[in-house]
Amino acid sequence: MPSSLFTQPRRVFAGIAILCAGMLAYGILYLQNVVGLEPCPMCIVQRYCLILLGVFSALAAFSKGPVGWRFWGLLGVAIGSFGAFTAARQSWLQWNPPELATCGRDLFGMIESFPLQRAIPMIFRGAGDCSAIDWTFMGLTIANWSFVWFVIFIIAILVTLLKLPSRRNGVMPA
């Protein structure tokens, strides 16, 4: 069953898009608005990566052939890799918190106050709030779960793209 799923790219991409939307809804509607967790700059970057991954997956699901699936799939892998990197960096900060923890500016304040080439390293340096652990599930933090899901999505997309027939076969899947 799972191996045959990867031969149906539209279903894989649609599933990823739906999961991304569900994860965003859970994070924004429940964790942020009900529990009261405020996202740190690295959380916001991961959120944007998840949004883009969902959009690219939806566009791939609506594509009619292998060219569109490959294009949107590879963009999804690229943005998913960036999201996984950000989540891994935040996980590392949570496991090794900086000695001097300060909340610092939020993401938009950094981008408005500093040139982009200075703001981006500041985001990944993390602040006191990026190393804080406010919520866990099964012993994993939000950043840990984010990393796990980005890796799952990347693997699913890559397996799907590798199962696509080559152009030389002349057979195009429906």
Q: 140: which strand partners?
A: 137
pLDDT digits (tens, 9 = 90+) for 32-66: 888 877 777 788 888 889 999 999 999 999 988 88
- DSSP SS3 for 80: helix
| Whole-number pLDDT of residue 152 | 95
Q: What is the CATH number of domain 2-160?
A: 1.20.1550.10
Average of per-residue pLDDT values in the chain: 79
9-25 helix and 66-95 helix, angle to the nearest 10 degrees: 40
Residue 40: strand, helix, or coil = coil
Hey, where are the domains in the chain? 2-160
Element of type H or E holding 137: strand 136-137
The four Cα atoms 42, 48, 53, 55 give a dihedral, to 10 degrees, of 170
The answer to whether the CB of 145 falls within 8 A of the CB of 48 is no
pTM, to two decimals: 0.75
Q: What does the pLDDT read at residue 1?
A: 44
Does 149 score more than 80 pLDDT?
yes
Higher pLDDT, 79 or 9: 79
CA dist 14 and 99 (Å) reads 43
Contact 86, 42 (CB under 8 A): yes
Task: Kindly state the helix (H) or strand (E) to which residue 140 belongs, with its residue range.
Answer: strand 140-141
Decide: 86 and 49 in contact? Cβ < 8 Å: yes
Strand partners, 141: 136
pLDDT band, residue 128 (cuts 50/70/90): very low
